[in-house]
Chains A and B, each alone.
Chain A
Amino acid sequence: MSMRRWVPLLVGALVLLVLGVAPTVVSPFILQFLINLFMLAVLAESWNIIGGFTGYASFGNVAFFGIGAYTTGVLLTRVGAPFALALPAGGLLAMLFAALVGLPILRLRGHYFAIATLGVAETMREVIYNIEVTGAGTGLVMPILRSPLPFFYLMLAILAAVTLLNWWLSESRFGYGLIAIREDEDAAAVMGINTPVYKTIAFSLSAVFAGLTGGVYAYWITFIDPDAVFKVIITVQMIIMAVFGGAGTVLGPLLGALVMASVSEWLSTHLVTLAELFNGLIVILVVLFMPKGLFDLIRHRPFSLRYFVKNLREYRI
């Protein structure tokens, strides 16, 4: 490996180290905020694999999050399995589910894919509602773990892994294959890329991380029900964070998650019941004024209001 490839890894390791000692100095409130931030960041990075690199606008990734949450939850409470077993099981099942559903669904393109994935997520919610073992509509209550530290380190570890994977995608042959599919799928196929296999792997990789976070989330938050872990808005948050930060980049989704977590934290403490309404407004404004994301804004110099006006003009009729 050349120097150029080592630098980001070193910087990453350093950031990880700093974050690793953070729990010893920050307040419990900040600690909870950080866990939530890591979760959002994992979701954004995992969506980035299928949505950002591969260019498939999945509107159903929350299904993997929910499957992970419920698998871990059911194994913990109903079977009495240890968390060390229940968590990977959740990730694995989410991955298998993605591979299975992906085979037919990834043949669809554009809007059809988007809505089909939305439908898969909604159907999963309905299925969970009707199954006894998952507690149906009443939900599942987890055993309570007093210390937040395990959740902090688990989320951080998953985040590090998914970020590393995104970085690898941006540098590797496999990642270039996904980007080729995004740019022109037919051309990619002609160039000898086995597009169905590539897409299915990307979808499954995306799923495994969403599933793992779902599992940690379930244990952390101690109560899950179908409406909470299969909420469409979770998928939309993933997309917003990735698109806002810069879809298809390694650091963009992290930046998007940081902004999103801070904004929604502020909204939910200051506006409480109106938080969701303002979230919606923010989605609209971001899409209108910064459709190319934060990185594009940072790169654009000198900074001026004209940037937003230009964006407004670019896609209008």
Chain B
Amino acid sequence: MLILQVLINGILLGGLYGIMALGMSLIWGVMNIVNIAHGPLIMLGAYITFWMFTLWGWDPFLSLPATVLLLFVYGYLLQRLVLNLIVRAQLFITLLITFGIEVVMVNLARIFWSSDLRQVTPTYAGANFSVGGLTIPYVRLWVFVTTIVLSVLFLLLMERTRLGRAIRATSQELRAARLTGIPVARIYAVTFGLGAALAGAAGTLWGMLFPITPIMGGQLTLKSFVVAVLGGLGTMMGPIVGGLVLGLAESFSSTYVGPTYPNAISFGLLVLILIFRPTGVLGKRERG
């Protein structure tokens, strides 16, 4: 029975990891930017939710659309005004600038929200139900359902709309996309906005399960990266699958090995994947 419980815990957490990585994978795939500020975007989403919850009493699930919208605008402006200026530079440069953005965001968060641990605890936070000996917290279940809904919406957006087609075209062949009249600079900004919006949603959900701190982002950037690589870049389902893999790996390892090595587990997994399944991971040559 324990093994089944561990399995369920892993899957429920994996959905959240999936949606974290979806945003990172999108930005990486379309613009070749590995966004080190992805974790801080999740943090920002979490703090916005925290504010709306404590100041106005908004339920996190209901404030989710507002958070998503705010993060979209933030991401759009960041790409439009800053990142678009260096998007074609070498690898160090794009990594460094997103790192600079990370440092600025973390330090602003310290000023706005202090370094204290914050929590979003709606009344139903501790409630759970049992099915055949398995305990399932309501919050985790609803978080998981939300991640599935958001993933499906995102897939529909990418596959079925003109915007999604324009983003995919830009990612495949920048020059050709531009020649067919796609406003690529704006598409880049929208793409970053979408990635940030997904991060914001992940932040809202994360804040219901775990404490919120200004420095939570670093670890989440690493996790998002691992998940994006685990699932394989360039596929829409990749991050979701990768998220489930990481969720299960963490759930099993923390039960059977001990919970003190969360990053070591992520990176052990990453190295294994890179060694044993390098195709599709090493395949794509980097720019610059």
Contacts and interface: CB of A to CB of B under 8 A. Distances in A.
A110 B124 CA distance: 45
Given A126-B261, A317-B87, 18 more contacts: A105-B271, A111-B28, A111-B34, A112-B282, A118-B222, A127-B264, A129-B260, A243-B93, A276-B107, A280-B103, A284-B101, A287-B89, A288-B82, A291-B93, A315-B87, A316-B85, A317-B84, A317-B185
Contact of A279 (B34, B103, B286): B103
Given A104-B275, A119-B263, A112 B281 contact: yes
B271 A281 contact: no
Interface of B: 28, 34, 82, 84-89, 91-93, 95-97, 99-104, 107-108, 111, 184-185, 188, 218-219, 222, 225-226, 229, 260-264, 266-267, 270-271, 274-275, 281-282, 285-286
Contacts, number: 135
A233 B262 CA distance: 21
A72 B188 CA distance: 48
Nearest to A115: B225
Contact of B96 (A115, A119, A283): A283
Given A104-B271, A108-B282, A122-B263, A280 B102 contact: yes
In the A-B complex, the 3 residue pairs with the smallest Cβ-Cβ separation, listed nearest first, are: A110-B286, A280-B103, A283-B100
A122 B93 CA distance: 22
A59 interface: yes
A13 interface: no
Contacts of A201: none
A312 B93 CA distance: 13
A280 B96 CA distance: 10
Contacts of B264: 123, 126-127
B92 A119 contact: no
A142 to B, nearest CB: 26
A116 B92 contact: no
Contact of B84 (A108, A112, A129, A316): A316
Given A109-B285, A114-B91, A116-B270, A130 B82 contact: no
B95 A112 contact: no
Contact of B222 (A119, A240, A280): A119
27 contacts: A104-B274, A108-B274, A109-B285, A111-B28, A112-B282, A115-B34, A119-B267, A122-B267, A123-B263, A232-B218, A243-B92, A247-B92, A274-B107, A277-B111, A280-B101, A280-B104, A281-B100, A283-B97, A284-B104, A287-B89, A287-B93, A315-B86, A316-B84, A316-B87, A316-B88, A317-B184, A317-B188
B91 A281 contact: no
Contacts of B88: 315-317
A107 B282 CA distance: 9
A71 to B, nearest CB: 20
A315 B93 contact: yes
A277 B92 contact: no
Contacts of B89: 287, 291, 314-315
Nearest to B97: A287
Q: How big is chain A's contact interface, by range?
A: 35 or more
Contacts of A111: 28, 34, 91, 95, 286
A228 B225 CA distance: 24
B28 A240 contact: no
B236 to A, nearest CB: 20
A102 B88 CA distance: 28
Contacts of B108: 277
Interface string A274-311: 10110111111001100100000000000000000000
A301 B77 CA distance: 34
B97 A119 contact: no
Nearest to B86: A315
Contacts of A277: 103-104, 107-108, 111
A239 interface: yes
B222 A122 contact: yes
Contacts of B261: 126-127, 130
A311 to B, nearest CB: 9
A288 B86 contact: yes
A60 to B, nearest CB: 11
A120 interface: yes
A51 interface: yes
Nearest to B226: A119
A110 to B, nearest CB: 3
Contact of A315 (B85, B95, B260): B85
Contacts of A57: 91-92, 95
A317 B96 CA distance: 18
A247 B91 CA distance: 13
Q: Name the residue in B95, B102, B226 with the highest tally of chain A Cβ atoms < 10 Å from its Cβ.
A: B95
A168 to B, nearest CB: 24
Nearest to A118: B222
B99 A283 contact: yes
Contacts of B262: 126
A283 B100 CA distance: 5
